[in-house]
Amino acid sequence: MIATLGGGSNFFQETSPPAGVNLYSVTAIAGSLLAPSSECSLSVPPAAAVGLTCSSPAEFTAQLDWALLGGDTAIAIHRNGAQVASLPGGTTTFTDTAAPGGIQTYEVIIEASGVFSDPVTCLVNVQVPAAPVITAAVDFSTIELGNTVQFSATSDVAGVTWSWTFGDGETSNEQNPQHLYSTAGVFTASVTATGQGGISNLVEVTVNVLQPVFLRSDNNGDGTIDISDPIQALEYLFGSGLSSCESAMDFNDDGVVDLSDVVNVLTFIFEGTVTPAAPYPACGTDPTADALTCTSQSTCP
C-alpha cells in the first residue's frame, strides 16, 4: 500500500513512480468493510542513459561510456539498428571489438522489466588499419625466351593476399611467382596486395624477353659449319639429349630435330646442294615459333 486517502477522494497522483510495469489497485473502505478492488496497470519507461560518449581506441574497436539514473534492469546496445549486446543493469561501459571500420551509429537503450527508455545515440569513426605498402622485383629484367623469370614481392604487413599480372594475360596469386613467357617482347608485370586495411599501391616491373640469336646448322656454336656440327646433332639425338641451341640443329626449320637434319647438314657440307633455313648465312633470330629452345650463341653478335 502506498497511500490512504480521505473518504470521497476520486484521484491520486504518484510522483516519480518506479520504472517498469506498475500495477495499481484502489479499494474503498467503510469501517471494517472493503469493496472489491479496481485495478489498472501503467508502464513507466526508465530514464534514458546520460552523458553517452563513443570513441575508437583501436582498429575495429568502438568504446561506449554512459551514466545511469537508476531503475534499469538491463541495457541493450544497438549498432546501425541491430542489437549487438545485452548487458546487465548497472553497466555503464561497453567495448565493441568487432566493429566495422568507418562511421558507425550506436544506440544505448535502458530496460526496466520489459519497458524501454528512449535510445541515446552516438556516432564514431572506427579506426581501420592502413593499406599495405609493397615492393616488387624480378631476378632478371632481360632474359632470353625459354627461361623462367622469378618475381618477388614484400609487404609491410603480414596476412595479405597477392595479385600478380604478368603483362601477357597470365596471372598468379603467389607472393613470389615464377613465370615463363611464351613469346619475345617487353612485358610490364604488376602486383598488388590486399590486407585488412584495403588494397596496396600497385608496383610494376618490366621484363624484356629476347629472341635468342644463332646461326642455323652451327650446332656446336663455334662460329663455323663443319663436320663437327652433324656429330653434335647425332650426340644430341642418340646420346645426351642436351643442347644449348636446339633451334640451330633444326636445318629445315620444321620445328623438329631428327636424322633428316643431320643428313641435310652433311649434304650441305659435302655437296652444297641444300642450304640451311634462316638464320643463315648470318646470325639472327628464329623466324618461326616452335617448341625448340636456344640460348644465344656467343659467336653471334
Residues near Ca ion (CB under 5 A) are: 218, 220, 222, 229, 250, 252, 254, 256, 261
- Give the residue from 152, 200, 201 showing the smallest Cα distance to 172: 152
Angle at 284 between CA 283 and CA 287, to 5 degrees: 140
Q: Which set of grid coordinates corresponds to residue 84?
A: 549487438
- Give the residue from 49, 78, 79, 43 showing the smallest Cα distance to 65: 49
Residue 262 burial (C-beta neighbours within 10 Å; 0-12, 13-18, 19+): buried
The residue (of 211 and 220) whose beta carbon lies closer to Ca ion is 220
The residue (of 115 and 292) whose beta carbon lies closer to Ca ion is 292
What CA–CA distance (Å, rounded) separates 290 from 248?
A: 12
* E strand segments, 15-101: 20-26, 29-30, 33-34, 38-44, 50-58, 61-67, 74-79, 82-88, 93-96
Q: Which set of grid coordinates corresponds to residue 129?
A: 588499419
Provide, rounded to whole angstroms, the least separation between the CB of residue 291 and Ca ion: 12
Determine phi and psi for 109, rounding to 5 degrees.
Answer: -125, 125
The residue (of 14 and 254) whose beta carbon lies closer to Ca ion is 254
Provide, rounded to whole angstroms, the least separation between the CB of residue 205 and Ca ion: 37
Provide, rounded to whole angstroms, the least separation between the CB of residue 229 and Ca ion: 4
Provide, rounded to whole angstroms, the least separation between the CB of residue 297 and Ca ion: 9
The residue (of 155 and 219) whose beta carbon lies closer to Ca ion is 219
Provide, rounded to whole angstroms, the least separation between the CB of residue 262 and Ca ion: 10
The residue (of 72 and 261) whose beta carbon lies closer to Ca ion is 261
